[in-house]
């Protein structure tokens, strides 16, 4: 499965990269990006990242 970060919405708080570092990382624009797909074992962390994002910038398939 894939997650996606809306680059216009992301404020670069870094929360998602701490919650699910295997899926999200900060890019050179200081925004988060989803750099890897995730499996069932990553679902909970991604859900937590989506719920925790203060500007609701994360979506997923």
Q: Which residues are near ligand SF4 by CB under 6 A?
A: 5, 10-16, 32, 53-55, 57-58
Look up residue 40 and give its two tokens: 């069932």
Looking at the Cβ atoms of 39 and 54, the one nearer to ligand SF4 is 54
CA atoms within 13 A on the CB side of 1: 14
Q: Nearest distance from residue 34's CB to ligand SF4, in Å? A: 9
Q: Shortest gap between Cβ of 43 and ligand SF4 (angstroms)? A: 17
Distance CA 39, CA 54 (A): 24
Query: Distance between CA 50 and CA 28 in Å, rounded?
Result: 21
Least CB distance from residue 39 to ligand SF4, whole Å? Answer: 20
């Amino acid at each position: 499965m894939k997650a996606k970060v809306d680059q216009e919405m992301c404020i670069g708080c870094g929360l998602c990269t701490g919650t699910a570092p295997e899926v999200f990382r900060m890019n050179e624009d200081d925004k988060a990006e989803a750099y890897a797909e995730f499996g069932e074992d990553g679902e909970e962390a991604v859900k937590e990242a989506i719920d925790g994002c203060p500007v609701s910038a994360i979506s997923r398939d």
